[in-house]
Structure 1
């Protein structure tokens, strides 16, 4: 007797899910293609800095992390642009700026005989990429929430995250292949061209009206989301030490195929989002984050103690799986605390904690690697990820009024 209404209710629910995915699809595709700009140089830039320019691990960490520092500095502007001028404009502007970063990478090759100058031009490219990434992800999240409603914020973050980390998973081995075949010039050229393809995908999509002419000051928005933001910052260190140092760990251990670690991370990340991406909206973001950061910490410990590349791949996969749902888990908590008229700024403020984390993780992990070896950074990553479990547990006790 009870089966008929259950099936009748399931059909419109499934149709609703399909409608949400269709609305988000062009934005998600544009984010995926645009974020290849970050994925392509991920395993290559540390090798180029160390092998071609002769930089030490601290400089490698600072250069890789600088992108996230520059993204952090542009978050308030990106969120304000999305709220007052429209999220579509933020995304389009970000893709053009990201393309300019590839041009800067190309220009740096003219100075390989002068490593300090080449490094300065590369840092300009990182600055442009950080600003472009800030605009694209802040605009995409705000655009998506505007299209499907704040009650589906977790799904928006899940799908945008699939696009981002899918681009990392595909971009890393593609970047290594380009590097092997054409050197850093091939990677730089692809980085300049790929965002223009994303621009073509998203240009026909109609934007949403700006949220409001008047909005809260950024520091007030920041105050409303800082606790889930702290959780995001702590759990993002696991991702940060993989992006900055997994290629160097494989090189130090004389293991091949470091790019597969990025792929393992990205595939596990995507798989978790596809299978369980509905859970933060359904059962609560803090609960999901609490379980997932424990899985992520286990992955970090596996990489730290790895005696063979296979253990490192499994550790990268567990890190990706856990981090996958920790991001929207903490993100749902941030959206629930955000003022509606400043949702773009709130998304920018929340993701700013990711920038803080990744910006600090690079140089800090570089110092740890110099002092104690590359594998030690993964023990530090595990400890910081575990601290995010305390934030998630605290959020579980704090209910936000509907």
Structure 2
């Protein structure tokens, strides 16, 4: 693995590029199901259910933990039966999870029954996210080729975090107008649009391959890159779970703009610089990105005003944007074609692990040290990822 410039990559056909863009659009519309819920769930848990920050963080994080536990299965399904089947099944789980969460908003005989139903819906949502993300990535790489894997990952990330940027304020607006049940009913409709769009879309062929090693052996190859993505993900998870509560605790307005600021920075970098991992290599991109993320998290931690905190969220988005495609590009190059789904599933699980654990752990910290300390942890994690990336680069140059 090197970080030198790659030779010119042949352009994909117009048909393949068009289908890739359609997949990104489907992912954006469907992922609004996740984006709507992120700021809404902790508010629902702490206000209507009357539970503490730990439980609010757990309700957010449990979906990502479900994704962690199912990434290997999702990757194997994509490798063996084709990525289209993974996408269709995942969208169906999105709908089911949102409907269960909708029921949790309608029927709350006790706070703990309401919380249990909410967790069940979040688990289904996490399973859906695992299947859809791995499936769309595998489908996209199958369309345009592994040499453009960085471009595929950048486009997929732009769709996901664009949905988070739009979904945050829309979710809070729906919560204010229609309540939690209304927000969840809306989120159940969106993946149905995705299902209609992909139902007749032609899939890609399953890659042949006699030898399929275990997930453990694949993780033994890719774990340093996955660890970088895990440490990067803590900053986003902190914003997703606690930015709104941090603003409310400071009595600041415009709390719903936190995910918008993050997502705007994220998508901006993906659009302008999404080609860089394929052109100059993943590690140089990751090193700069992690430094920017660390600064953004530190700015939220020390922010004296809502404008400064929103600027920190924007910088965090700028920094987080290219780390996943940069490291994912390296992962794709390290494994055989028939193992891409399994490798990307395991690789993505590192990020899901950060999302799943940050919520409850940071919730305990917030109960004791306030919400600001959560973002200090995010800054420290980004700096740790930066050190690992620098180490990998020095080994590659040796």
TM-score of the aligned structures, taking structure 2 as reference length: 0.95
Please give the alpha-carbon distance, in whole angstroms, between the structure 1 residues aligned to 2:384 and 2:57: 23
- The residue number in structure 1 matching 2:269 is 272
Q: Secondary structure at the match of 1:216?
A: coil
Task: Choose 324-333 or 103-112, whichever is displaced more.
Answer: 103-112
State how 1:55-70 maps to structure 2 within 5 Å: 55-70=51-66
- The residue number in structure 2 matching 1:326 is 323
The answer to whether the 8 A contact 2:103-2:181 is kept is no
Long gaps (5+) in structure 2: 1-7
Q: Secondary structure at the match of 2:202?
A: coil
- The residue number in structure 2 matching 1:3 is none
- The residue number in structure 1 matching 2:79 is 83
- Cα 1:360–1:17 change in 2 (3 A) is farther
- The residue number in structure 1 matching 2:377 is 380
State how 1:3-402 maps to structure 2 within 5 Å: 21-212=17-208, 214=210, 215-399=212-396
How far residue 354 of structure 1 moved from its aligned partner, in angstroms, is: 0.7
- The residue number in structure 1 matching 2:4 is none
Number of positions where the alignment pairs a residue of Structure 1 with one of Structure 2: 390
- Cα 1:194–1:296 change in 2 (3 A) is same
Runs (4+) of structure 1 moved beyond 3 Å?
15-21
How far residue 207 of structure 1 moved from its aligned partner, in angstroms, is: 0.5
The answer to whether the 8 A contact 2:91-2:191 is kept is yes
**Structure 1 residues 330-368: Cα deviation after superposition (integer angstroms, max 9, x where no partner):** 111211212221110111011000111111111111111
How far residue 192 of structure 1 moved from its aligned partner, in angstroms, is: 1.1
How far residue 213 of structure 1 moved from its aligned partner, in angstroms, is: 6.0
Please give the alpha-carbon distance, in whole angstroms, between the structure 1 residues aligned to 2:366 and 2:235: 15
**Structure 1 residues 179-232: Cα deviation after superposition (integer angstroms, max 9, x where no partner):** 111011111101211100111122221101112364221111222211100000
Please give the alpha-carbon distance, in whole angstroms, between the structure 1 residues aligned to 2:119 and 2:209: 35
How far residue 23 of structure 1 moved from its aligned partner, in angstroms, is: 3.6
How far residue 21 of structure 1 moved from its aligned partner, in angstroms, is: 3.9
- Superposed CA RMSD in Å reads 1.8
Please give the alpha-carbon distance, in whole angstroms, between the structure 1 residues aligned to 2:221 and 2:316: 28
Q: Secondary structure at the match of 1:154?
A: helix
TM-score of the aligned structures, taking structure 1 as reference length: 0.94
Long gaps (5+) in structure 1: 1-9
Please give the alpha-carbon distance, in whole angstroms, between the structure 2 residues aligned to 1:388 and 1:204: 41
